[in-house]
Structure 1
Amino acid sequence: MNFDEILRLIGGFGKFQKILYVWICVPQIFLAFHMLVSIFTGAVPPHVCQTGKSSANSQLFFNLSLQYTSDGQPDLSCKTPENRSSIVAFGDGHPTERCQGGWEYSKEIFESTIVTEWDLVCDRASLNNIGSSFYMFGLLVGAIVFGTLADKYGRRIIILISLSIQAVFGCAAAFAPNFYVYTALRFIVGTSISGVIMNAFVLGTEWTGPKERMLAGLLTDYFFGFGYIILAGVAYLVRDWRKLQLAISMPGFIFIFYIWVLPRSARWLMANGREEEAWDLIRKAAEINGNPLTKDMDVSKTCNSEEKPEEKKKHSFIDLVRTPKMRKRSLIIFYLWFANVLVYYGLSLNISSFGMNIYLTQMIFGLVEMPARTIILFTINRSRKFSQIAFLAVGGVACLLTVFIPSGMKGLIPLPCFLSFRRLTSHSSPASLIDQTLIKTALAMTGKFGITASLSIIYVYSAEVFPTVIRQNGIGIGSMCARTGGVLAPMLYFLKSFSPHVPMLLCGLCPLLGSVLTLLLPDTANKALPDTIEDVEG
């Protein structure tokens, strides 16, 4: 009797599993907070070089400084203008020298951010994006370190340790004395995020029956989406970055009670020769599910009916690219992981560039995740392949279309409906600005919809494309490729120095290329999983 047969006896998704998924899903809300909080803590308010003179029109000048930098080239705000009052009045004037006296920041939207506290603008602006990339690099390191430790010491203990690190170092980041200490603390938080995400997902799937695993796995994605939406409200209420960092980190200490409620993985215990402990957990789960097992069932019969370890052929990651068909499938899957995560975070972390109110945009982008994750429930069982192709194409085309929105569009949307949105350029009428902003945001939202759905599909698709003997290797390297995309996502906007359209151009082309490459993959819906490399090659 293997473990899946045991789950059929005790219930593949009964009361025990449902309670387990409550414990697994709640932390996902706070994971979303930490993943996306840099949108607000690292925001760049309108800013101007200090001149030592006050101006009654200072707020207008703040708006003007941001308008001039909407193309990604903040020359005016980085230099001292020769005639400040003439720029305010007529939008005219030229910068004369680099700013030496520091910057003034508008407090219309944010009380403080790491940018305003440590002057991460102009020649130091790149540090902000580098800090975000360093955090994403922490996710990559955490995936490697905590993945290895979880295989050795178990899922539960690593989840508990990761939650503790997340709370302690998240709070510590709120008291960072400088940018470099802050970045180092955020890096450690990033490693803990991977420890929770990976092992919570694995712990849940190891306790869930085969038929329910896809739906159960999507539950965690929904709660991440809830966190995405809630963060907009929390950030709206807490405008100081240090207080916001504390607000998202302090609740993490609540999870100390997981020491008493979070179960271990019986499947992992069995795989590591600890059958008696596993059997105790199985009996407890069976009782909670209302399917108690007889005491005379032989524990030894619960061991997997697979070959003994010494009889197995050893496999490594080299087998992913050793044979022709396997190599083609592996490289395509790795690229899909990379492209999905690159575009997902490329859009998520740069919502301020679309021009609408940052809090409203964050909430909309979070709301979009719900239908995106729901619709795949109706498409993925029909065809993994064409679902992946379709959603990649939707995401890519929508992002690509934002590049072609002309700046002079007029008369599409009545102005009074959008008076609350901040004006971002001085080169077009209010009506044209609102139309342009709304359309770009709508297209970006559509792109986010497609990429979110595609990202959910790739989890399932990867597990079915790789054969059993190298499945863990394939998903592990795919996850590393995904984290590489996450590291590069904040760097996309460095490319604005070449053209303001380059980031969204890449966000459009990468998914479209992935959509084309997916045509070369097999459709795995309702088909037996390959067990060996020979099954793939044959």
Structure 2
Amino acid sequence: MKFDDVLNQIGGFGRFQKTLYIWICLPQILLAFHMLVSIFTSAVPPHLCLSTWPPEPGLGYNFSQQELACSPAGSDQARPSNGSSCPGGWEYSKETFHSTVVTEWDLVCENASLNNIGSSIYMFGLLVGAVLFGALADKYGRRSIILVGLALQAVFGVGAAFAPTFYIYVALRFVVGTTISAVIMNAFVLGTEWTGLKHRMLAGIITDYFFGFGYILLAGVAYLIRDWRHLQLAISAPGFLFVFYIWVLPKSARWLMANQKNEEALDLIRKAALVNGNPLTSDIKLEQEHNSGKPVVQRKHTIIDLFRTPKMRRQSLIVFYLWFVNVLVYYGLSLNISDFGINIYFTQFIFGLVEMPARTITLFTLNRSRRISQLAFLSVGGLACLLTIFIPDDLSIIRTALAMVGKFGITASLSIIYVYSAEVFPTVVRQTGIGMGSMCARAGGVIAPTIYLLKSLSQQAPMVVFGLCPLVGAALTLLLPETANKALPDTIEEVEGNIESEEKSEPLRNVDIIN
């Protein structure tokens, strides 16, 4: 009996799976905290370089008039010729923040690049984590890597709150970044592999909701805690509560089966069946996929297997590009439309709310077609970005509205790629494939801010890039197989064989979807 048949017998989304989703979703709130907290902890408040210390009385410093001033206030003299210090020290406005990483270590003016480098190193940590923990999860299992990731995240996150120097702080944040990838990828895959065909997409969509909730909640937490060390501690310490996951988080029976641990998989299946109220009345025999009546030879799989065969190679490259372009445009648009000139905490709150309808709409499209949904939302995102270049500067409200439509489309598309990837890659390399996709996504996140350097060539260049890249992705999506309401592939051989039959019936299925 194949594993999907087993799920149908014991319940594809019963009490066992619903409980599992609770354990999967709770960490997503903290993941959102760690991903977005730098908006507040690394913020650059208005500041002045003083000519003397203590400040001369009666100078009447006005931060609103001298924001980000690097020349000494109250003096006609320029900074020292070496440009390496401020003679009287820095004075920071405390109207919004009591302290940030920037104010503690004076990461302004000539040192401002260190703040940007720190952010890039954190994003690089996510990239490293995607590659490292993706491969380790396929070898040691999803549950083990989730537990390790949560433990490291709590320890190093709390450690960052007590970092004595900026460089130690950056190093600790780098490790936290690697754990983000470890938890978010494996929690998603664990849910996917335990869920039946009709409810499989919930593994991505529901967890996205909890990430969005963390997005919104962070605005309130940061508003109440204005000191960066206290804020870092507040978002990290709750991670220690997940120690009880050692006893409640199950392994993936599908992964156990794929790694020839059928007895352990059967024990888990019996437990799930009892919890779901569908106890097995007789023993079942788990079988691996067969080709031409012969069992598939089991062996260790590596990243090379993603590119070794033609159809697997084509699908992998397209999926990796979709990961890259989704995150590239997502972060690119977020940077472009974030300056509304209103309170930063309110802006954060609004950005979190915008994501909710984008996540919701995918619930009504994914069951119909993964491929058409991906194509449609990429097209919406890309076209909206391109349209902004035709809107005059004096119609800024319309430009902003179009940019928000673009972000809406890309956010929905980003939710879909999680589900689509898990269904395109077979079990033996699923986590490796998603890990590589996540690595490409992180590369897009690192590159996104640099796209705005193209403004030196043309003011419209960034939005042209953010418009054309998704449209290319939409076209490439047509070359992927439809996976809605289909069994998850377990082997590469199955992918190579099934895609051919799918392609023969493709025109008919496209007609059904359109109608």
TM-score bracket, shorter-length normalisation: 0.7 to 0.9
Aligned mate of 1:370, from 341, 352, 356: 356
**1:259-303: per-residue Cα shift (whole Å, max 9, x none)?**
222122222233333333322222221111111113xx335x124
User: 2:283 maps to which residue?
Assistant: 298
Say if 1:352 and 1:125 are closer, same or farther in 2 by CA, change over 3 A. Answer: farther
Aligned mate of 2:325, from 334, 339, 354: 339
Instruction: Give the Å deviation of 1:155.
Output: 1.9
Say if 1:13 and 1:443 are closer, same or farther in 2 by CA, change over 3 A. Answer: same
Instruction: Give the Å deviation of 1:439.
Output: 5.5
Say if 1:523 and 1:260 are closer, same or farther in 2 by CA, change over 3 A. Answer: closer
**1:340-386: per-residue Cα shift (whole Å, max 9, x none)?**
11222334467654433221121111111111011112223444344
User: 1:194 maps to which residue?
Assistant: 181
Find the aligned partners of 1:344 and 1:372 in 2 and give their Cα distance: 12
What value does the CA root-mean-square deviation take over the aligned residues? Answer: 3.4
- SS of structure 2 residue aligned to 1:125: helix
The answer to whether the Cα contact below 8 Å between 1:36 and 1:348 also exists between their aligned partners in 2 is no
1:279 correspondence with 2:263: no
| Number of residue pairs the alignment of both structures matches | 489
Instruction: Give the Å deviation of 1:442.
Output: 3.9
**1:499-529: per-residue Cα shift (whole Å, max 9, x none)?**
7766555434432443344455565556788
Letter in 2 for 1:224: F
The answer to whether the Cα contact below 8 Å between 2:4 and 2:487 also exists between their aligned partners in 1 is no
Aligned mate of 2:253, from 237, 250, 266: 266
User: 1:63 maps to which residue?
Assistant: 64
The answer to whether the Cα contact below 8 Å between 1:13 and 1:209 also exists between their aligned partners in 2 is yes
User: 2:135 maps to which residue?
Assistant: 148
User: 1:71 maps to which residue?
Assistant: none
User: 2:382 maps to which residue?
Assistant: 396
User: 1:213 maps to which residue?
Assistant: 200
Find the aligned partners of 1:407 and 1:168 in 2 and give their Cα distance: 48
Find the aligned partners of 1:529 and 1:272 in 2 and give their Cα distance: 16
The answer to whether the Cα contact below 8 Å between 1:10 and 1:289 also exists between their aligned partners in 2 is yes
Gap runs ≥5 in structure 1: 67-73, 85-92, 410-435
Letter in 1 for 2:153: Q
Letter in 1 for 2:370: R
Find the aligned partners of 1:352 and 1:104 in 2 and give their Cα distance: 26
Find the aligned partners of 1:532 and 1:219 in 2 and give their Cα distance: 27
Find the aligned partners of 1:495 and 1:40 in 2 and give their Cα distance: 27
Find the aligned partners of 1:34 and 1:487 in 2 and give their Cα distance: 16
Q: Normalised by the size of structure 1, how large is the TM-score?
A: 0.80
Aligned mate of 1:387, from 363, 373, 377: 373
Aligned mate of 1:511, from 464, 470, 473: 470
Gap runs ≥5 in structure 2: 504-515
User: 2:511 maps to which residue?
Assistant: none
Say if 1:520 and 1:251 are closer, same or farther in 2 by CA, change over 3 A. Answer: same
The answer to whether the Cα contact below 8 Å between 1:133 and 1:486 also exists between their aligned partners in 2 is no
User: 1:421 maps to which residue?
Assistant: none
Q: Normalised by the size of structure 2, how large is the TM-score?
A: 0.83
Say if 1:214 and 1:360 are closer, same or farther in 2 by CA, change over 3 A. Answer: same
The answer to whether the Cα contact below 8 Å between 2:45 and 2:97 also exists between their aligned partners in 1 is yes
1:289 correspondence with 2:248: no
User: 2:512 maps to which residue?
Assistant: none
Say if 1:463 and 1:286 are closer, same or farther in 2 by CA, change over 3 A. Answer: closer
The answer to whether the Cα contact below 8 Å between 1:174 and 1:243 also exists between their aligned partners in 2 is yes
The answer to whether the Cα contact below 8 Å between 1:14 and 1:289 also exists between their aligned partners in 2 is yes
User: 2:508 maps to which residue?
Assistant: none
Instruction: Give the Å deviation of 1:388.
Output: 2.4
Instruction: Give the Å deviation of 1:451.
Output: 1.0
The answer to whether the Cα contact below 8 Å between 1:2 and 1:302 also exists between their aligned partners in 2 is yes
Say if 1:241 and 1:313 are closer, same or farther in 2 by CA, change over 3 A. Answer: closer
User: 1:532 maps to which residue?
Assistant: 495
